[in-house]
Structure 1
């Protein structure tokens, strides 16, 4: 069997959990980054590519772990060279750009995997399995909370670049809401002003309310707090037949389901036997080898960006935003200009 060749673009904080995953999978990894490539490569025993073209040429899969504004252009470059792509969330800065990336991958016959890693956390995956099995009936009200210390890099907070807390941090739970309750038709969002405290200049909280096509409502809250704020996530899903609740501070998490028994696997595992980042990459590699969908599809990447984009529009206008996700994921129409007619 030939060794899988992976090109890792970027050497920032998130690169190391991807590096751990690729090393666990036995891949031969090359790194390219404007900063930090040598240190990352030395730490993990990877090779350093002299430039982007060399990295892509030496890869079967290109893994993009750079700041958000570069995701779309880098993905398109790798796709144009016929490489499969793993791209950190969000897939692109706008839904239109995300759809262009998905269309390009489809036309090139390569696979594209948006890295929505929360789907691979055992607790969240268990909740989705119980919802899909009908254990609580149709989801009616969903609540997601995610918070921690504000990131220090300025691009995270620049809505024109990282997209602020909604597109960067809260997109995890926007994706969870879509995964658990289906497409969204209306989005309303509010956000606090930035803190005036010099010790926490980027502290912010946002709340997004999603109306699903099914009639379910999702409440998604995200916070970036002061230095030292402990990272915490929780999710609560209520239906007519029961509730599900997980909290990163609970061990084990709670699943309140009538007649549920621990022995039947209703309680999420309290620890992670394998890193969710490694599990995610393992699924993507297997999906390529087996010709099947992964737990996250390319179209899921468009949906999450479209919902985040609608939330940011709601923040700007102060009004709810109507959304047609089915239209958002349709391939772009082929025009006469596109085919050279």
Structure 2
């Protein structure tokens, strides 16, 4: 099957293009970007065509991988789904509930497969840990800390306009939720959401299975304080999210594997567009609550 890449930014260069080019099942068929010169430069690196017209790319492929800001992704995902193209999307699915629902509706109506790339869900060690904890019962509480120094270091994402606007809640919040939801169950309500230093957000979530969780999210943590930690406590004791030896590229290869499996079997993947939309709904609720708390 043929897959095209929409996007030419750092994430497309660092992860998507090498993952698609090296994939055994998908044929990397071309690149489209909002800047034609950047699309040509990236496409030339991999010996594939650059497209000036996104519809021309859609006509030539079976699926698209999207590495674009959430608002652009949501619009093009609807367009691609309506053209009958399968979707390998990035998180967050969309910046608003309405845009996310439009993607879900388009996917459902077109009958195409979708996978949203939550990195932690596609790394072998962390995927296995999540599966193991989801099978256990009696979780009481959890804490998740996703602390980055994107805006306080030389990160290639520091200049990202959407990250500057939406902050850690929307950038790393999806990662934390992608780990907690399959283990603790859906979120019944956002019990609290407040802003901390910089773009830091602190959430308290009430889950349908009775557990609570606390999330601390930041892109402005001091570099020495950056890191990721998830801890669960319950009847089974205490357990923590393990480190992973995998890379973003290897995780994206596994996500592309998952999309291929969903196409072949017709069975939705757990990280499909509907799951991405649920994450969007929780983030939007937390964002509104934090804004109210800030006055």
TM-score (norm 1): 0.77
Give the equivalent residue in structure 1 for 2:147.
Answer: 147
Partner of 1:237, secondary structure, is strand
| Equivalent residue, structure 1, for 2:154 | none
The answer as to whether partners of 2:145 and 2:228 remain within 8 angstroms in 1 is yes
Superposition pairs of residues 83-102 of structure 1, within 5 angstroms: 83-102=85-104
The structural deviation recorded for 1:164 is 2.1
CA RMSD of aligned residues (A): 2.1
Note if 1:220 corresponds to 2:215: yes
| Unaligned stretches of 5+ residues in structure 1 | 195-203, 249-269, 320-341
Question: What secondary structure sits across from 2:81 in the alignment?
Answer: helix
**What CA deviation, in whole Å up to 9, does each residue of 1:66-90 have, x standing for no partner?**
1111121101111121111121111
In structure 1, the partner of 2:6 is 9
Q: Which residue of 2 aligns with 1:189?
A: 193
Aligned to 2:262: 287
Equivalent residue, structure 1, for 2:31: 31
Matches for 1:299-310 after TM superposition, within 5 Å: 299-310=274-285
User: For this pair of structures, how many residues does the alignment match?
Assistant: 281
* 2:201 matches 1:206: yes
Displacement of 1:112 after TM fit? 2.2
Question: Contact 1:156 / 1:165 at 8 angstroms: preserved in 2?
Answer: no
The 1:179/1:132 distance shift into structure 2, 3 A limit, reads closer
Contiguous gaps of at least 5 residues in structure 2: 151-156
CA deviation after TM superposition for structure 1 residue 24, in Å: 2.1
**Residue 102 (structure 1) shift:** 0.8
Determine if contact 1:127/1:244 at 8 Å carries over to the other structure.
no
User: What residue is the counterpart of 2:227 in the other structure?
Assistant: 232
Q: For the residues of structure 1 that align with 2:221 and 2:46, how far apart are their CA atoms?
A: 32
- TM-score, normalised on structure 2? 0.88
Map of 1:180 onto structure 2 = 183
Which whole-Å CA distance do the structure 1 matches of 2:68 and 2:225 have between them? 25
Q: Which runs of 4+ in 1 moved over 6 A?
A: none
Aligned partners of 1:33 and 1:47: how far apart in 2? Answer: 12
> Would the alpha carbon gap of residues 58 and 34 (structure 1) be closer, same or farther in structure 2, given more than 3 Å must change?
same
Contact 2:146–2:217 (CA under 8 A) maintained in structure 1: yes
Are the aligned partners of 1:102 and 1:112 in contact in 2 as well (CA < 8 Å)?
no
**Correspondence list, 1:106-145, <5 A:** 106-134=108-136, 137-145=137-145
What secondary structure, in the 3-state scheme, does the structure 1 residue paired with 2:201 have?
Answer: strand
Q: Structure 1: how far apart are the matches of 2:177 and 2:91?
A: 12
Counterpart-to-counterpart distance in 2, 1:123 and 1:189: 30
User: Matches of 1:178 and 1:242 in 2, distance apart?
Assistant: 19
Matched residue SS, 2:10 = coil
Aligned equivalents of 1:316 and 1:225: distance in 2?
Answer: 19
Residue 179 of structure 1 deviates from its aligned partner by 1.7
